[in-house]
Amino acid sequence: MILFKMAWRNNWRHKWRSALTIAAIVFGLSLTVWGFCLTEGSHEQMIRNSVESFSGHIQINRKGYQDDPSLRKSFKPDSALYRILENHRPDLADWGARITTFALASVGETSFAAMVVGIEPEREARFIHWDRKIAKGEYLRPQDMNGVLVGEDLADNLGVGLGDTVIVVTQNFYGSLAGALRVVRGIFRSHSPELDRGGMLMNLFSAQDMLSMDGRVNTIVVMTSSGEQVDPVSRSLAAALQGQDMEIIPWYEILPDLVQAVELDNIFGLLTNAILILVIGFMVLNTFLMGVLERIREFGIMRSLGASPGKVVGLIALEAVLLNGLGFLLGNVIGLAVSWYNSIHPLDLSSLGEDVYKMYGVDPRIYTHLTWGTVFYPNLFVMVIIMLALIYPAWRASRIKPAEAVARIR
Amino acid sequence: MKLVIKTLIFFLICIFNYSSAETVVNDTTLARRIVEHADTLMRGTSNYGVYRMTVVRPDWSRSMTMESWEKKEADVSFIEVIEPPKEAGTAFLKREGQMWNWLPDIERTIKIPPSMMMDSWMGSDFTNDDLVHESSIINDYSHAILGADTLDGVLSYGVQLTPKPDTPVVWDRIVIWVGADNFMPLKEEYYDEKGRLIRTMYLKNVRKISGREFPTLWILEPHLKPGQRTEFEILKIEINVEIPDRIFTRQHLERSR
C-alpha cells in the first residue's frame, strides 16, 4: 500500500512529464487502433467490391475449369444440384448460372476482343446488381434473345450506341467458328475496368444458343450471406458434390491478386504502425530512465532504510502501470470512439483523386471495421514495446548500491 | 587373333546395317508415281462428294453432313454443311492457298488468318492447314519406297514422304501405305520433327460407290489425345466430274442461301 502511495505521488511530482508520456501513449494507441480498423474496413470494402463486381463469393465449376477455362469444361445443372443449392439457404444467399467465353466483337470494320458472359439477369440483379450499373439504355429482359449489354469503354471503342447491332464471332462448344448478331440494349459501367473495356452480357440461353452449349453452363456463381460464411458453405457444398467431378472455388482462389494486394497493404500498415509504436517506446524509455537516474540518491535512501532491490523495481513498475494504465484507457476510448464514428460516417478520401480509387475498384469513402483483432493487436504491440522500454531503467535501479548512492550529491 | 575377330564382327555389323538401310528403295520416280496414282484414285482431277463427319471425344460425339466440290489443278475447293440445321449453310472456300468461312448466322465471311491455320477445322482433328495445303503431297515432298508389309491381310507398300528443303510444311515425315494390287491408300502416318507418330489416318471399308471401288470410311486418330478421333463416312463420291468455275468464287460463297 505504501508502494502504491509512493508511486502515485512520484507520478504527480512531474505533472508535465507524466502528462506528456500519457499523451504519447494515448496518441499512439488510439491512432494504431483507428489505423487497424481503417485498414480492416478498407480491405473488406475492397473484397466486397471485387466479389460483387463479378466473381461472387464462391464459384462451382467442372473440375479443372480454373486452370483451363474453356467451353468444354462445362456441365448441365440438374435438379439435384439446384436442390443442394436451395438446401444451403439462408447462409447461401443467392446464385446464378453463367457461361463465359472470349469472342471478337465487330461493328463495320472495327473489331475488338470481348469477354462474352451469358447470365441469368433476374438472379444476378440480386447480387451483382448489374441493373444498377446501367449507364445508358436498359437492363436485360429475361426473355430477350438478341439483346446484349456492352461495357462503356468497349461501346466507345466499337462506336456503338443503343439499338446498334454488334457481330459476335467466336468458337462454339464443338470448336467450330460461330457467329451471332446481337442488339445493344444497354451500356454498363461497373467497378471493374476490365469489364468496362471488354465485357458483353447476354441472356444465358442466348449465349447457349450462340455457342451450341445444349443447356451446359461453365459456372454457378454463389453469394453467401456474409464473408464469414464463405468457408463453411464452400466446405458443405464440396461435401454435397463429392465424386461429381466438380470444383468449389472460394473468391480468394479466384482473385489471388486481390489477396496479395491485401497482404501487401497489411505489411505496409504494420510497418507504419511499428515505426509509430517504436517512437512511443523510446519516449517511455526516456521518461523512465530520466526518472530513475535523477532519483538514484532517493533509491539509495530507500535501500538504506531496508527496502530490498525488488521493492525498488516494484515501485518503478507500479509508477509505470499507473501512468501507462491511464494512457491505455484513454487511448482505447479515443481510438474506439473515432473508429466507431467512422464506421457510421465514413472517412471521405475522394478529394485525394477519384480516378486512383476507381482504378483499383475502391470506394473513396472508407468505413472502419471494428473486430477483436483490430483492438487486441495494437494494445498487445504497445504493451510489449513499453515493457521492453522499462527493462533497462528497472535494471539500473535494482543495481543501486546504497552507500554509493547516498553519497552522491543528487 | 581376338582383334581380328572383333574387326570382322565390326565389319559384319556395318554391312548388316547398311543392307537393312538399303530396304529404302531410292527409286524416287516410282515412289512419286505411286503417290500420284493414289492421289488420282482418291480425288481425280475434280470431284464432288457428300460426307458425314463424326467428331468423337471422350464425353461426346457429333456428326455433320457436308457437300464438297474440288478442282485439283486449280487448287480450289468448296465445302458446305447441310446438316445439322444449326450449322447448315456454313461454307468454306479454299482458293490460292487461303480459306474463307461463310457464317450464315451473321451473314459474314471470315478469312481464316494465318494464326488460326493450326487450329481445329470445325472442331475436328483436322486443322485448317490440312485443308489449305492438302494438295502439296506431290510437289512439296520427296518420295521414297520404304518397304512392303501386310495390313489387315493385304500386301501393301509404304512410301515415305520427306519435305523438300525450304518448304513450309507441318510434318517432318509422312508414310503412306497403299495396297499392292491397286495402289489404293490404306493408311497414312504423320510424324513430327522429333520422330514421334502424331496421328494416323486409316482408310477402310472399300466398297463400290458411284460405280467405283472406294474406301468409304476414313478415320483420323491423333495419338497424343486418347479417346479422340474424327471419322469421315463417304456417302457419295463422283470423280472427274464437270464443275463450273463459279462454284469456287466469293460471290458463290456469299450468295444468299
Determine which of A33-37, A124-128, A348-352 has the lowest per-residue pLDDT on average.
A348-352
Contact B105 A212 (CB under 8 A): no
Q: pLDDT tens-digit profile of A357-371?
A: 665 556 678 888 888
Mean pLDDT over residues B235-252, rounded? 90
- Read off the pLDDT band of A18 (50, 70, 90): confident
Q: pLDDT tens-digit profile of A305-354?
A: 888 888 888 888 888 888 889 999 999 999 999 999 988 888 887 777 66
- Read off the pLDDT band of B23 (50, 70, 90): very low
Mean pLDDT over residues A12-22, rounded? 87
CA distance B122 to chain A (A): 4
Of the candidates A99, A110, A211, A210, the one whose C-alpha atom is nearest the C-alpha of residue A154 is: A110
* pLDDT exceeds cutoff 90 at A197: yes
The set of residues, in sequence order, having a beta carbon less than 8 Å from that of A377 and lying 6+ positions away, is A36
Mean pLDDT over residues B80-106, rounded? 89
Contact B103 A175 (CB under 8 A): no
Contact A181 B105 (CB under 8 A): yes
Q: Share the mean pLDDT of chain A.
A: 89
Q: pLDDT tens-digit profile of A161-186?
A: 999 999 999 999 988 888 899 999 99
- Read off the pLDDT band of B15 (50, 70, 90): very low
Mean pLDDT over residues B84-107, rounded? 88
Residues of chain A with C-beta less than 8 angstroms from the C-beta of B86: 212
Q: What share of chain B is helix, strand, coil (3-state, %, to 5)?
A: 20, 45, 30
Question: What is the structure's pLDDT at B31?
Answer: 86
Cα–Cα distance, B63 to B231 (Å, whole number): 9
Percent of chain A at pLDDT above 90?
43
What letters, b where the CB count within 10 A reaches 16 and e where it falls short, cover A59-87?
bbbbeebeeeeebbbbbebeeebeebbee
Domain ranges (residues) in chain B = 2-253
For residue A396, which phi and psi values (nearest 5 degrees)? -60, -45
Determine which of A246-255, B28-37, B79-88 has the lowest per-residue pLDDT on average.
B28-37
Cα–Cα distance, A139 to A402 (Å, whole number): 87
State which of A3-12, A380-389, B145-154, B205-214 shows the largest mean pLDDT: A380-389
Mean pLDDT over residues B89-94, rounded? 91
Q: Strand, helix or coil at B55? A: strand
CB of B118 within 8 Å of any CB in chain A? no
Contact indicator for A312, A398 with CB cutoff of 8 Å = yes
Question: What is the structure's pLDDT at B12?
Answer: 43
User: Which of B106, B123, B124 has the CB atom closest to A169's CB atom?
Assistant: B106
CA distance A253 to chain B (A): 28
* pLDDT exceeds cutoff 80 at A202: yes
Question: What is the structure's pLDDT at B10?
Answer: 45
What residues 121-180 of chain B have any CB closer than 8 A to a CB of chain A?
122-124
User: Which of A167, A210, A212 has the CB atom closest to B108's CB atom?
Assistant: A167
Structure pTM? 0.73
CB of B37 within 8 Å of any CB in chain A? no
Q: pLDDT tens-digit profile of A227-255?
A: 888 999 999 999 998 888 899 999 999 88
Interface test with A, best of B105, B121, B225 (most A CBs within 10 A): B105
- Read off the pLDDT band of A410 (50, 70, 90): low
Residues of chain B with C-beta less than 8 angstroms from the C-beta of A167: 106, 108
Half-sphere exposure of B134 (CA within 13 A, CB side): 20
Residues of chain B with C-beta less than 8 angstroms from the C-beta of A180: 105-106
Cα–Cα distance, A361 to A257 (Å, whole number): 13
For residue B130, which phi and psi values (nearest 5 degrees)? -55, -40
More confident residue, A216 or B1: A216
Question: What is the structure's pLDDT at A155?
Answer: 94
Question: What is the structure's pLDDT at B26?
Answer: 53
Question: What is the structure's pLDDT at A357?
Answer: 62
Question: What is the structure's pLDDT at B141?
Answer: 86
Of the candidates A53, A58, A43, the one whose C-alpha atom is nearest the C-alpha of residue A231 is: A58
* pLDDT exceeds cutoff 90 at B97: no
Contact indicator for A24, A283 with CB cutoff of 8 Å = yes
Q: Which residues of A touch B (CB under 8 A)?
A: 167-169, 171-172, 174-181, 210, 212
Mean pLDDT over residues B125-147, rounded? 80
CB of B230 within 8 Å of any CB in chain A? no
Contact B106 A181 (CB under 8 A): yes
Contact B90 A176 (CB under 8 A): yes
Question: What is the structure's pLDDT at A9?
Answer: 86
User: Which of A175, A179, A212 has the CB atom closest to B106's CB atom?
Assistant: A179
C-alpha cell at A409: 550529491
Amino acid at B186: L
Percent of chain A at pLDDT above 70?
97
Residue of chain A whose alpha carbon sits nearest to that of B54: A174
CA distance B19 to chain A (A): 48
Cα–Cα distance, B112 to B130 (Å, whole number): 13
Given the C-alpha cell 451483382, which residue does it identify? A128
Question: What is the structure's pLDDT at A227?
Answer: 83
User: Which of B55, B105, B106 has the CB atom closest to A174's CB atom?
Assistant: B55
Cα–Cα distance, A402 to B12 (Å, whole number): 108
Contact B106 A175 (CB under 8 A): no
Residues linked to residue A138 through DSSP beta bridges, in sequence order: none
CA distance A181 to chain B (A): 6
Amino acid at A107: V
Q: Architecture of domain B2-253 in CATH? A: Clam (2.50)
Question: What is the structure's pLDDT at B133?
Answer: 67
Chain A and chain B share a number of CB contacts under 8 A equal to: 37
C-alpha cell at A343: 464506421
Mean pLDDT over residues A16-20, rounded? 87
* pLDDT exceeds cutoff 50 at B159: yes
C-alpha cell at A74: 462445362
Question: What is the structure's pLDDT at B13?
Answer: 44
User: Which of B103, B105, B120 has the CB atom closest to A175's CB atom?
Assistant: B120
- Backbone Cα Rg of chain A: 32
Q: pLDDT tens-digit profile of B223-242?
A: 998 989 999 999 999 988 99
Determine which of A310-319, B88-97, B162-171, B230-239 has the lowest per-residue pLDDT on average.
B162-171
Half-sphere exposure of B221 (CA within 13 A, CB side): 12
Amino acid at A72: R
Q: Share the mean pLDDT of chain B.
A: 83
Contact B106 A180 (CB under 8 A): yes
Residues of chain A with C-beta less than 8 angstroms from the C-beta of B110: 169, 177, 179
Contact A179 B123 (CB under 8 A): no
Question: What is the structure's pLDDT at A124?
Answer: 92
* pLDDT exceeds cutoff 50 at B18: no
Mean pLDDT over residues B8-25, rounded? 43
Determine which of A27-31, A209-213, B118-122 has the lowest per-residue pLDDT on average.
B118-122
Question: What is the structure's pLDDT at B16?
Answer: 42
Residues of chain B with C-beta less than 8 angstroms from the C-beta of A76: none
